[in-house]
Amino acid sequence: MGKNKRGKGSKVMAVSDASGLPVAVHVDSATPHEITLVAKTIAGRFTRAAPRRIVGDRAYDSDPLDEMLKEQGIEMISPHKSNRVRSRTQDGRPLRRYRKRWKVERLYAWLQNFRKIVTRYEYYAQNFLSFVLLG
């Protein structure tokens, strides 16, 4: 989300359902890329059933991530990066669902309303995660 007391950052990864309610939340340091945190986020979901599809931005355009999610039965929908070397893996039809990504962004905007979440005051990540879940 933002800086903490020591100047470093925290990254909040969230998966939401079609109505914008959180299905999975994961907190980690701001250093790793989002692609490496997707598996941890999905593993810590609140529901038994895995999501059928995940909609992400251009940062999630990764062939290893697509393969990992296909093994779990999850479809990854994200626009391709402009510097993509390999051929494109999806045409424009699945990207129609990308237009509804604003529901996920609404979840993050809701979390930005809480001062305790915007600036991390907690030392332990588990304590910070509990405040994110309360938000």
Whole-model pTM above 0.85?
A: no
Length of the chain as a residue count: 135
The confidence score (pLDDT) of residue 101 equals 77
- Copy the structure tokens of residue 20: 């914008």
7 pLDDT tier (thresholds 50, 70, 90): low
Average pLDDT over residues 87-92: 61
Q: Tell me what the pLDDT averaged over the chain comes to.
A: 76
Question: Is residue 15 within 8 Å of residue 45, measured between CB atoms?
Answer: yes
Give Cα separations from 103 to 5, 46, 92, 107, 109 (angstroms): 30, 18, 20, 7, 10
Q: What are the extents of the domains in the chain? A: 10-134
Average pLDDT over residues 19-30: 80
Taking 80 as the threshold, does the pLDDT of residue 83 lie above it? no
Of 27, 19, 18, 53, nearest to 117 by C-alpha is 27
- Note the CATH number of domain 10-134: 3.30.420
Average pLDDT over residues 96-115: 77
